[in-house]
Structure 1
Amino acid sequence: MKKLAFIFLATMFVFSSCKTNQSTNQAESINFEKVQVDGGIISGINNEADGLYIFKGIPFAAPPVGDLRWREPQPVVPWEGVRDATEFGASAIQTRNYSYLPWTEEFMVQNDISEDCLFLNVWTPAKTTSDNLAVMFFIHGGALTEGSGAIDVYNGVELAKKGIIVVTINYRLGVLGFLAHPELTAESPNHVSGNYGFLDQVAALKWVKNNIKNFGGDPSRVTIVGQSAGARSVSGLLASPVAAGLFSGAITQSGTSFTIGPMGSLTLEQAEKQGLEFQKMKGANSLADLRAMSYEEIIATDPDQPRTRYGGVIDGYYQPNELAAIYAAGQQNDVPFISGMNADETRYNGEKGDAFVALYGSDSEDAVKLAGQEQSRLNTYLWMEFRAETANTKSFEYYFEQAIPWPEHPEYGAFHTGEMPYVFDNLKMLDRPWTHVDRSVAESMSSYWVNFVKTGDPNGQGLPEWLPYSPDVKEVMRIGKDVGMMPIAETPERFDFLKEQLLGE
């Protein structure tokens, strides 16, 4: 069997109430002035206009600072009194770009950064603790080196208004989130190192399982959603035994496809070697020396040295094996699944000779672009096909092709991350000449996502039917000016040609 792999794009219990003698069999009216969570009591924002309560900057683990730098996330540090949860907590340490095209400031981190960054945010429309609303748990993108749950386009108000609870999170990034080192492995109770950012995501999911009932949520209906590096994260959670039982559905946006080649994760031994090289580059003699450095010293780069990319580690604990091998063995967390790509974020990968010209009419730029779009749809479809060999749950593929209206920069089209304002129905966050088509796309896409979070199926009243993966129906859901099923490739001959180019058959 060929070596298979992912390609990833660049990845408590009751409400506190002044009345303590209420019957436990009676639905308890939510008192958001005093909500009990792990660590203590919090108070949020009463958004009366939208019928929501919003909580920001809730700690879900201890600050990973000092001796806790490069350790598995630790339990929340308790606090006294009522903690204010009306402002976002600091974002993870990163190089802040504020904006760089095509990503304007609405897509980028604008708030403070700190190693004390393990916070999450909750938007809830619930009225009682027995509402049992489904939960969307969103993991941001940013190549595992930047991003935040506090970014404008991830604001959860509009999705929550559709009847779900929205949770966004922070997690450790870059070298602070993914450094492996022999000394770190030796001190770990799990005898591993390097996947701290991913373990932060697990800790946040455990927080949701333990606490979301207090916000009117159902801990048995949690859908993990991620874009780009967030999709890489969701894929890791799907394959991780550590995350088993923490979610009931999954969506990967611009992050899951199928190909021959390396997966991108290092073995623990390789990652530890990389960590020792990092220590030497920093002029440190030990892990203690690295922990004594400021974060500015840690993340500083030498222009004369090649930049090291930190990511996942096949550590035998969080990630036992290559992801495709885990699926081949049927060892994944098998839940309903959505995945897809954007029209203008990938390029054609293959030969442009006589066979190509015969199928596409020419080898012009337009022809190559069209082939790239068909190949992108096929790449995700092939993953669905591979997944189906061991999965018992349905999967759904989408293809997003609505370009944000941008008269100054039409060249970007439906760019990487460009679907996020539509998913969150947050067009209002960007100053663009929106049209009725954009608003219709946002309504459709956000409704598909909300339906899936609620039921494990994106279909619902008033929406074009979205067919699940089937080996007999080589179609995907088009989301754009036209919403409905579309062919992966225009002809069977193109399908076969592109598959040959991808798989090298």
Structure 2
Amino acid sequence: MMAGLAALILAAPVSAHDAPVVQAPAGSVRGEALDGVAAFRGIPYAEAPTGRMRWRAPVTAAGWDGVRDASRFGPACHQPPSRPGSIYAPAETPAMSEDCLSLNVWTPENAENAPVFVWIHGGSLTGGSGSEVMYDGARMAAEGVVVVTINYRLGVLGYLAHPDLSAESTDGVSGNYGLLDQIEALRWINRNIAAFGGDPGNVTIAGESAGALSVMYLMAAPQAHGLFHKAVAQSAYMISTPALRETVHGTPSAEDAGVALSRQLEVRGLARLRAMDPQALTVGAAMSGFLPLGNVDGHVLPAQPVEAFERGEAASVPILAGFNEGEIRSLRFLLPPQPASAEAYEAAIRAAYGDLADDMLARYPSGNLDEAMLATTRDAMYGWTAERLVRSQTAQGQPSFLYYFDHSYPAADEAGLHAFHASEIPYVFSGGERTPPYWPAIPETDVESGLSDAMLSYWVSFARDAVPSAEGQPEWRPYGEDRAYMAFDQTPVPGAHLMPGMFELVEEVVCRRRAQGDLPWHWNVGVASPPLPAAAECR
């Protein structure tokens, strides 16, 4: 009945004084009428504890009386400035607040029981927001999907763990606040999305980069299970995850990292940390090298994500996952210094990889050192993760689909950014009409619009019924059939067994490091790799 009421309201003629209104359980909201779509922005889904209450789980947002204005985005969560020269930087610094837990909804006219697509923004768990220009949901909503983008706490405000914080928690844990925000957003969606015409029983969580890392965290977090029914992970990275109270895989405990940060900032005690200006604290933590990550606390995250997936403990849902050919071209800060010569490169690989050195040099040869190093880090972080995700979900009997984005265009190629990290996002969302100001400009051609139409259709149909399909385009077969995948170049091209041998080589490296237990397994690879442990039994 509520979904039908919302549809009637949205279908009514609109004017400057007659904007669309939805009566949701949380309260009534007035949005903006677009072309066949209504947008509702800045809706609070939770309250972030601030000041003396900072670093606690989110509190369910109180309802409101009257009709709330939902025509403008809410403030972004506190974050440091973008890297100088970053193509990902926004046109201007967004308004920021600790009270930042809001979401945005785009819904088609007359929507009822429509699939729901929840987008979790990237940004290394340090930056970004659900209001970024690339994530405008109007075009996808016009295809019959209710699109939701969310804000969640970032950086030190979202992921600080500390013994004193754990001591005051009823669960005896700390950190993971940004992840708890995401779970609370999914709970809000479960209670309210029907009023916007969405089906709470058909929710897809999706994200890119740190958003895809968050998708994996949510799949591994029991509290989130049942709140979503499909997952999309674009350029996810299944790195080793710190534990709350012990050193694992060469990474100090999350609590120790919190204590170390307090010392670096020369601010002792929670009361003083909570009294700090949130932006000064955020910038200071970033400059001190604080790396925000989820932590294995036995409560929110019971196990390493890699273990949750291989033991079948992650959410058993269909998945669509993939990565880009040029991931590292725009992330060169992840690369170690390049050796002076091919001979030095080969010597470093042989010293580090021992019995696997020949395999490494065959896959990442010294003929072009730049390309070899780009591919080594790309595969270790993104390629291996994508294939491991679809393999894990296939083993659970779930439809699983792998993609490889290898498309570029003149402006990107001229900048040395062929198929760079996140370059697939505009093709899924806006067709290239909405990108950050420093992004290589996507030309208005039939090739670009055709590829975008195809990718949008594949993503929408996956959100609708777990089968990615596009009219007039090739069938996208599940991974389990001959390790099938879809390549996106000028057009979608189906294939089988992507990069033969890549997954097995990286899996062997990861297996050995996991078995030894005192090494991370992600970007310390190639010429930056410590000596590889001896062979070990793997699952």
The 2-side partners of 1:464 and 1:415 are apart by: 24
1:58 aligns with 2:43: yes
1:154 aligns with 2:160: no
Q: Structure 1 residues 473 and 256 mapped into 2: Cα distance closer, same or farther (>3 Å)?
A: farther
Q: Structure 1 residues 266 and 456 mapped into 2: Cα distance closer, same or farther (>3 Å)?
A: same
Contact (CA 8 Å) 1:478, 1:486: kept in 2 or not?
yes
Deviation of residue 217 (structure 1)?
0.6
Q: Which residue of 1 aligns with 2:317?
A: 335
5+ residue gaps, structure 1, are 1-11, 18-26
Contact (CA 8 Å) 2:166, 2:172: kept in 1 or not?
yes
Contact (CA 8 Å) 1:226, 1:234: kept in 2 or not?
yes
Q: Pick from 428, 431, 434 the counterpart of residue 426 of structure 1.
A: 431
Deviations 1:119-158 (A, max 9, x none): 1000000415xx1000100000000000000000100011
| TM-score for both structures, normalised by structure 2 | 0.79
Secondary structure in structure 2 of the residue aligned to 1:153: helix
Q: Which residue of 1 aligns with 2:249?
A: none
Contact (CA 8 Å) 2:231, 2:319: kept in 1 or not?
yes
Q: Pick from 397, 401, 404 the counterpart of residue 399 of structure 1.
A: 404
Secondary structure in structure 2 of the residue aligned to 1:266: coil
The 1-side partners of 2:53 and 2:361 are apart by: 58
Q: Percent identity?
A: 37
Contact (CA 8 Å) 1:38, 1:207: kept in 2 or not?
no
Q: Structure 1 residues 494 and 385 mapped into 2: Cα distance closer, same or farther (>3 Å)?
A: closer
The 1-side partners of 2:89 and 2:254 are apart by: 34
Q: Structure 1 residues 316 and 427 mapped into 2: Cα distance closer, same or farther (>3 Å)?
A: same
Q: Which residue of 1 aligns with 2:82?
A: 97
1:144 aligns with 2:125: yes
Q: Which residue of 1 aligns with 2:235?
A: 254
Deviation of residue 198 (structure 1)?
0.5
Contact (CA 8 Å) 1:378, 1:488: kept in 2 or not?
no
Secondary structure in structure 1 of the residue aligned to 2:320: strand
1:120 aligns with 2:124: no
1:310 aligns with 2:292: yes
The 2-side partners of 1:105 and 1:98 are apart by: 11
| TM-score for both structures, normalised by structure 1 | 0.84
Deviation of residue 436 (structure 1)?
1.6
Q: Which residue of 1 aligns with 2:418?
A: 413
Deviations 1:339-368 (A, max 9, x none): 100110149999587667777897335873
Deviation of residue 469 (structure 1)?
1.2
Q: Pick from 273, 276, 281 the counterpart of residue 256 of structure 2.
A: 273
Deviations 1:398-449 (A, max 9, x none): 0001125416843011111111111103311245433221111111111110
Q: Which residue of 2 aligns with 1:184?
A: 165
Instruction: After TM superposition, list the pairs within 5 Å mapping 1:1-16 onto structure 2.
Output: none
Q: Which residue of 1 aligns with 2:194?
A: 213
The 2-side partners of 1:188 and 1:359 are apart by: 49
Contact (CA 8 Å) 2:428, 2:452: kept in 1 or not?
yes
Count of matched residue pairs: 471
Contact (CA 8 Å) 2:322, 2:403: kept in 1 or not?
yes
Q: Structure 1 residues 405 and 58 mapped into 2: Cα distance closer, same or farther (>3 Å)?
A: farther
Contact (CA 8 Å) 1:110, 1:151: kept in 2 or not?
no
Q: Which residue of 1 aligns with 2:305?
A: 323
The 1-side partners of 2:508 and 2:310 are apart by: 21
Q: Structure 1 residues 283 and 53 mapped into 2: Cα distance closer, same or farther (>3 Å)?
A: same
Q: Which residue of 2 aligns with 1:293?
A: 276
Q: Structure 1 residues 485 and 302 mapped into 2: Cα distance closer, same or farther (>3 Å)?
A: closer
5+ residue gaps, structure 2, are 13-18, 247-252, 330-334, 336-344, 351-356, 436-440, 513-534
Residue identity in the other structure for 1:475: A
Deviations 1:207-227 (A, max 9, x none): 100000000110000000010
Residue identity in the other structure for 1:264: T
Deviation of residue 268 (structure 1)?
4.0
Q: Which residue of 1 aligns with 2:456?
A: 446
1:486 aligns with 2:495: yes
Q: Pick from 181, 199, 204 the counterpart of residue 223 of structure 1.
A: 204
Secondary structure in structure 1 of the residue aligned to 2:284: coil
Q: Which residue of 2 aligns with 1:20?
A: none
Contact (CA 8 Å) 2:220, 2:314: kept in 1 or not?
yes
Residue identity in the other structure for 1:122: V
* C-alpha RMSD of matched pairs (Å): 3.2
1:36 aligns with 2:23: yes
Residue identity in the other structure for 1:434: E
